Amino acid sequence: MLTELAFAADDRAWMRRALELARGAEAAGEVPVGAVVVSGGAVVGEGRNSNITLSDPTAHAEIVALREAGRTMRNYRLPGCVMYVTLEPCAMCVGAAIHARLERIVFGAADPKTGALGGACSLPDLHAHNHEIAWQGGLLADEAGGLLRAFFRSRRDASGRDVI
């Protein structure tokens, strides 16, 4: 994981947009995760968690953003594109990003339980794929992590049990 000093100014701007989308997910009662896919300095796809709204276990912010990017680019392959996501992606989302042939993934908060870019595992390190993907984590991690912690804290009682 790189320090925030290693990130470009554009990276911060795109992650801020992903954080806006995460707040929109939270307002809709979803886990606050947002994702933006960028190509050549322009947004080609955006998404926020929509699992509950769509009754779809695959409607993670990353998948929603990749689907929109594919429609925008008129191709499921997205070479040269970068995805910015507020939470370290799970194995499903990293797998989809590899299949889409993204150039890079930049994430905010680490996810030690289900993250697949160094958290629970590092899917790209398996080298069993037809595409190598670069990744960086920790960009605006405090803000992204704080959003998630506040969301889950508001949904648990004093004993830590879910109340919703």
Hey, which residues are catalytic here?
Answer: 62
Tally Cβ neighbours within 10 Å of residue 20. Answer: 14
Tally Cβ neighbours within 10 Å of residue 7. Answer: 16
Left if phi > 0, otherwise alpha if psi is -120 to 50, otherwise beta: which for 92? alpha
* Residue bearing tokens 């594109």: 81
Half-sphere exposure in the Cβ direction for 35 (13 Å, CA): 33
Strand order in the sheet with 82-87: 42-48, 34-39, 82-87, 104-109, 134-137
